[in-house]
Amino acid sequence: MNRSYPNTRLRRTRAKAWSRAMVRETILTPSDLIWPLFVTEGTGVEDPVASLPGVSRWSVDGVAARAKEAAALGIPCIALFPNTPAAKRSDDGGEALNPDNLMCRAIKAVKDACGEDIGVLTDVALDPYTTHGQDGLVNGAGYVVNDDTVAVLVDQALNQAEAGADIIAPSDMMDGRVHAIRMALEMGGHHNVQIMAYAAKYASAFYGPFRDAVGSGGLLKGDKKTYQMDPANGDEALAEVALDIAEGADSVMVKPGLAYLDIIWRVKQRFEVPVYAYQVSGEYALIEAGAAAGIGDREALLMEKLIAFKRAGCSGVLTYHAPLAARLLGA
């Protein structure tokens, strides 16, 4: 196509709002949103997360109320993360396997409150349950061991599925865990429980506020670079995604979001699976800090970033701003 001025004036279709609406290539709807929620012990508790202005940890009853709110806003799925009390944390994260742990009680409360009106996604990794804040079992040298960790993650996933989780989301980055979890779910009769693999999860500086929120930040010694990916790598992300799909993932995630749009794009071009981005805690906090510092309108900053994920090929986005975005889209 050989276009030239003035036959082509690209400003013509931009001149009026109705026309811009007609030629818009990418649309964001509330059904593109997944809302991550932090759960804490107690009843009637709302405990604000200092590093995430506007985000709180909710007790189980509050989480059920938030889930109802989400469903009413047209948000199809929530993601749950527990803030496990220090007394229930251990070196091996055994609380993750307790059928009556905070996560399982929250799953049940949401299911009781909302039935099939909303999906519940649950994170599989040991960091909310360990005293060292690592996602798996640590050996004497401080190394997170792979295969023994996978065995525990399988039991954690089954525990969540038995409590009623709809989507199991392994965020631990151990090798082989998707296959092991898929087999266990099949054998346990959970054929329709999905797996959304955190397939390309990077060792990122943007997770800080999340670690505060689940109470693992102050505990973490060292970093997670022996299992989470090097931000310098792109081909390796495709290898991670290929393996997770082969192992039984129904959908894959790229995390964090905005700094990895090229990865989202490459994954979407290469594979026929739904791709999700996790706009992580540090990304949320940056929008809030930016707005507070007067660099731009908070809602405009948010919506521009969210549409970028759709344009790059995402089927949806995990974002702490989900209820705000859904409200803006519904208006």
With CB atoms as reference, the residue minimizing the distance to ligand PBG is 210
72 vs 301 by CB, closer to ligand PBG = 301
CB 199 within 8 A of CB 237: yes
**Residue 92 is a binding residue for ligand PBG (CB under 6 A):** no
- Binding range to ligand PBG, per CB under 6 A, among 27-35, 67-75, 204-212, 231-239: 204-212
Helix (H, G, I), strand (E, B) or coil at 221: coil
- Residue 219 gets which letter from DSSP? T
Smallest gap, in angstroms, from Cβ of residue 233 to ligand PBG? 17
Smallest gap, in angstroms, from Cβ of residue 264 to ligand PBG? 16
Residues that bind ligand PBG (rule: CB under 6 A) add up to a total of: 11
**Residue 207 is a binding residue for ligand PBG (CB under 6 A):** yes
Among 135, 212, 240, 244, binds ligand PBG (CB under 6 A): 135
How is 161-219 classified by DSSP, letter by letter?
A: HHHT-SEEEE-S--TTHHHHHHHHHHHTT-TT-EEEEEEEEB--GGGHHHHHHHT-TTT
**Residue 171 is a binding residue for ligand PBG (CB under 6 A):** yes
Query: Could you give the CA distance from residue 245 to residue 120 in angstroms, rounded to a whole number?
Result: 21
Distinct helix (H) and strand (E) counts, the chain:
11, 10
111 vs 211 by CB, closer to ligand PBG = 211
Task: Count CB neighbours of 156 within 10 A.
Answer: 26
H runs (alpha helix) in 229-297: 235-247, 261-270, 281-292
CA–CA distances in Å: residue 162 to residues 37, 135, 200: 20, 22, 27
Among 281, 285, 314, 323, binds ligand PBG (CB under 6 A): 281
Residues marked as catalytic: 201, 255
101 vs 281 by CB, closer to ligand PBG = 281
> How far is residue 112 CA from its own chain's centroid?
23
Q: Mask 94-123, x = binds ligand PBG (CB under 6 A)?
A: -----------------------------x
Residues in contact with ligand PBG by CB under 6 A are: 123, 125, 127, 135, 171, 207, 210-211, 224, 280-281
